[in-house]
Structure formats: structure tokens, C-alpha cells
Amino acid sequence: MSTLEQVLAKTNSDIKINVSASETAQTKILKKFRQGFISCLILAIVFAAMALGNLNPYSFPSYLKIYLVVYMTIAATWYIFMYLKLKNINIAALTPSKLFSKTANIRLLMISGEVIFGMGLVILFTLLL
């Protein structure tokens, strides 16, 4: 029986979670969130400077630069939100059912964020064409 099925079935058997491996994985994911935040912030600053400096106005209009600044700022905010949400999970202190619930919630938020940002890219390419 899998670990999740044990939790859902509310069996009396002990469920073992490897805390050190889970904390290592959490640290790696937090690092990816920090990298995503920094990348989005740098791109937002670059496109803001391009919009303010009016660089390449014909091949890449200002409204697209402004769109990308807003898009990258929202993405950076999303990465900060997800970083804080994941950082607040204390793997060693939570019960397995709460831990599974919180990680499932984070997965759902990440998938919905990816879908929304994917739609934003579709809008960008539609405006570009």
C-alpha cells in the first residue's frame, strides 16, 4: 500500500517520511524559486529600461515592452509567493496527512500558475504577430 493510501485509509501503521531527504528537496526547490524570481526581476528591469529609453521602437513597440514589464513583475511576485508558501512548511513538525495536503496544494498552485503564465505568453505572441 502506498504512503498516501495509508494516510487516507487512516491505518494504525507508522508512516515513515525521510525528513533529511525531504528537506534537501525543499531546499533545491526553494533555490529554483529564488532563481526564477531573480530572472523575472532582471528581465522586468531590462524591458522597463528599454521602454523608458525608447530603444527599438519599430521592431519591438513600447506597448509590448510595457506588457513584458507587467508580465515579468507578476511572475516575480508569483515566485515570491510560492517561495514563502513552501518555506513555511516545516517537514519535521507536520503530520504526514498535513504534509501531503500542503504539498498537494503547492502542486495545484504551481500548475495553475503555469497555465496562467502560458496564456500570457500566448497573448504576447498574438500581439507580436
Q: What are 57-70's pLDDT values in tens digits?
A: 777 788 888 999 99
pLDDT more than 70, % of the chain: 83
Q: What is the pLDDT of residue 1?
A: 46
pLDDT tens, residue by residue, 59-98: 778 888 899 999 999 999 999 999 999 888 887 777 777 8
Mean pLDDT estimate for the chain: 83
Rg (CA), the chain: 20
**Distance, CA of 14 to CA of 4 (rounded, Å):** 12
pTM for this structure?
A: 0.76
